[in-house]
Amino acid sequence: MELNSLQKELCTRANEHCVKLDPEPALCLFRLFPGITVEEWEDFSRRHDLKQWLTLPIDGDTYPHLKQVQETMERLSYQTDHDPLTGLANRRAFNRILDIEIERARRSGTSVSLAIIDLDDFKKVNDTYGHTKGDEVLVAFSRKVFQTTRRYDLAARLGGEEFALILSGTGLVKAKRVLSRLLEEFRAKTFEAPDGGIFKVTCSAGLTCYKGTVDMDVKQLLDLADEALYGAKENGKDQVMVSKIPDIDLVPQETLVQANEKQFLFGK
């Protein structure tokens, strides 16, 4: 249907005789449309949602076409790695970057902290105020997360009301401080209900830290953060809970360093 309507309009503009398309499924690779300028094509593609179509010039100035191809590729690349609602990284980009950060920590011995954050009782927000208001809350939280992070950190939406932060080169103490500030600032934010009332939303976070001294993969580190998040939910929500630190097990027992001291040493 899309091809038929496109062919009809463009052939009419070009005063070109067009052969009716076969109704059976077919793959169209190239089509020549004489007399159609780049500007006319851009206008047509916007009106008919044909932004995925690329144009190739036969002669004349190729720059406008190459620029259009570049912009299309950049847009597709962005969409591949970003959540459409919040603009944060999506699960695919998150898994890739976390794997890179784990390898970097293993090679260099520097810290990487991972936080999994979940909005508390978010289903009640959707059920009480509607999904549009729920989306507004998600976008507002995403902005707050983005404002909290540095340029070389990664903020991602993993799905639904679950988010993640990868804090590169950051130990446990500093990471917990960052998360506590995030929870505090979002806790103070108010939202207007459809009936004119005011409501607030809190969130819980599970935090873990890896220093590269033991073997670790994406799933194992995620499991530690998820376990800590579960503990935060079970312990009353609206708080940061820290997981066990995987690197602690490598500290020799004969040093007689107590567990809480190990936590402090490895959390820096």
Q: Which residues participate in catalysis according to the annotation?
A: 161
| Residue 240 structure tokens | 């940061």
Q: Give residues with Cβ within 8 angstroms of 74, minimum separation 6.
A: none
Of 201, 199, 196, 197, give the one whose Cα is nearest residue 182: 201
Q: Which helix (H) or strand (E) holds 113?
A: strand 112-119
Of 174, 139, 171, give the one whose Cα is nearest residue 155: 139
Q: Where are the beta strands (DSSP E) in 160-250?
A: 162-168, 191-192, 198-199, 203-210, 240-242
Q: Give residues with Cβ within 8 angstroms of 164, minimum separation 6.
A: 94, 114, 115, 116, 117, 154, 155, 156, 157, 158, 225
Beta strand pairing call for 198-199 and 203-210:
unpaired
Of 162, 251, 268, give the one whose Cα is nearest residue 214: 251
Do 161 and 122 contact (CB within 8 A), yes or no? yes
